[in-house]
Structure 1
Amino acid sequence: MAAYHTRSNSLPSRQHPLISEFEDQLCRLRSSDEASSSATSLACKLSELQDLHDCVDKLLLLPLNQQGLNKEQNEKLVNELLDGSLRLLDVCNAAKDALQQTKESTQELQSIIRRRRGGESSLSSEVKKFLNSRKTVKKALHKAMENKCTFSLLNKDQEIVSMLKEVQSVTLAVFESMFSFISGPKSSSWSLVSKLMNSKKVSCEEANKLNEFANADAVLNSLLISQKSKKSDSTLEENAQNELQKLEMCIQDLEGVESFYRRLIKARVSLLNILNH
């Protein structure tokens, strides 16, 4: 990553303390670019991401940076910055909606399993509803990532512009990792379904290869198949309840997306004020 203490037309020639803070925060996020394997690690990234955006807000308030982003002189750049901030909002909103929809479906299905009185057909219908909701979520996340195109950013000689591009890039990387986590690996999930249906022992190590979203999908798919074949399986129902509880706890760990979304909205308002000053 380029150092941001070189001479530029938008930042002081002497390194500003905020630039060192920015570099440190960016390096921490870059060092953990690999796909996250737990909700805890993703939640940590979200917290670090918020710190990074807070630092950029402070940098944007520096007089020289505000002059460099003057709308009259850099109209095309301003439009790109605003478009980029909208794309980040769209991506974050997709994650927020996906978690909210899955949480509601999870709580509803848990309640139905606990107070189940309507027989196997009733449970089958509710499991289908949950799985269909998961398909809708996955499609929405896939669409959101298709529309995440980065913006090129003109006038890259301005260091504040290069920094904003870095922020956009690492933000998208974090949410791409989160989208992958929520969607889960389809092939591995169906392998677990097959083992569950054939009454083969599924070891903790095998289950841990998948996250809470994929494990819930696998157990509920196997339960649905069992229901369709008219074979009642109390073990599968118990497993489903356990996995749904784990999924709900996992979603709670990721609910920092909500506060980060509000933070991005606030940042966009601040950016609009600076660019239109």
Structure 2
Amino acid sequence: MDSISKKSFHTRSNSLPLRPHPVVDDVDEHLCRLKASAATSSSSSLSQKLGKVQDLHDSIDNLLLLPLTHQALVDNDSVDDLLEGSLELVDLCSMAKDVLSQMKECTHELQFVLRRRRGDDITNDVQKYLNSRKIMKKTIHKALKGMEKSSSKTSDESSDIVTLLKQAEAITYSTIESLLSFMAGPKSASKASRWSMVSKLMQPKRVACKEEGSNTNL
């Protein structure tokens, strides 16, 4: 009798829904946070979203170490799609990093010129900066056009793990796209707006000149 009751209890316990692994919950929580902030696109919000993407992928690293993840990937036909998507993300991140580094270098060079050549004609230097930025914008827009890809479809038979990984891929693509769009700015900026941007770079110089002038008067 005891053996029968134990067997029936064991059968009932197996029928209960399994509780998700804490790492799975962690990944899902990071995804929810990113989805909630998807509509914002200011520089500060983008910085926050990039931090959240980093946290998401840190959690995914932990998720990929779990045996249940290995089993889910083995039993699913979407592994090749996930790998291809990951490689594309690596290429995009590398390109975004290179462009951002070039933009930073060009900006620093122009600021250096603005500080050193007080009163001199800096038109050629400014034009050089604008031309460099124009080339980088073309590179970004070309990359954005290449990102117009259909998101990976998740079939009803996909496991929860695979679904999470595909959602993470999609939200990462979206965040990088927002970053590149912000870096590129409007696709067809007027000449006045381009010089307005240069004028903003000159603000620190003007403040410094005013401070020097006031110190001289003292």
Question: What TM-score results when the alignment is normalised by the length of structure 1?
Answer: 0.60
Per the TM alignment, residue 77 of structure 1 is displaced from its structure 2 partner at its CA by: 3.0
Hey, what does 1:32 align to over in structure 2? 37
* Identity value in percent: 43
2:190 corresponds in structure 1 to 190
Instruction: Specify the alignment match of 1:219 in structure 2.
Output: 196
Selected match of 1:50 from 54, 78, 83: 54
* 1:177-214 Cα shifts (integer Å, max 9, x gaps): 11121112356x539x2xxxxxxxxxxxxxxxxxxxxx
The offset of 1:134, in angstroms, is 0.9
Q: Which residue of 1 aligns with 2:134?
A: 135
Q: CA deviation at 1:65?
A: 1.4
For the aligned residue pairs, the C-alpha RMSD in angstroms reads: 2.8
How far is the alpha carbon of 1:47 from its aligned partner? Answer: 1.0
Name which of structure 1's ranges 13-22 and 167-176 shifts more when overlaid on structure 2: 13-22
On the 8 A contact 1:153/1:161 being kept in 2, the answer is: no
Give me the whole-angstrom Cα distance separating, in 2, the residues matched to 1:92 and 1:103.
Answer: 16
Aligned length: 188
Q: Closer, same or farther in 2 for the Cα pair 1:173/1:154, shift >3 Å? A: closer
| Distance (whole Å) between structure 1 residues aligned to residue 26 and residue 37 of structure 2 | 17
Show the counterpart of 1:126: 125
Deviation at 1:150, TM superposition (A): 4.8
Contact residue 127 and residue 220 of structure 1 kept, 8 A: no
Number of the residue aligned with 1:22: 27
* Cα displacement (A) at 1:61: 1.2
Query: Which consecutive residues of structure 1, in runs of 5 or more, have no partner in the other structure?
Result: 1-11, 194-214, 222-235, 246-277
| Structure 2 residue identity aligned to 1:34 | A
- Where has structure 1 moved over 3 Å in runs of 4 or more? 153-156
Amino acid of the structure 2 residue aligned with 1:53: H
TM-score, normalised relative to structure 2 = 0.75
Partners in 1 of 2:87 and 2:204 — Cα distance? Answer: 35
- C-alpha separation between the residues in 1 aligned to 2:186 and 2:145? 18
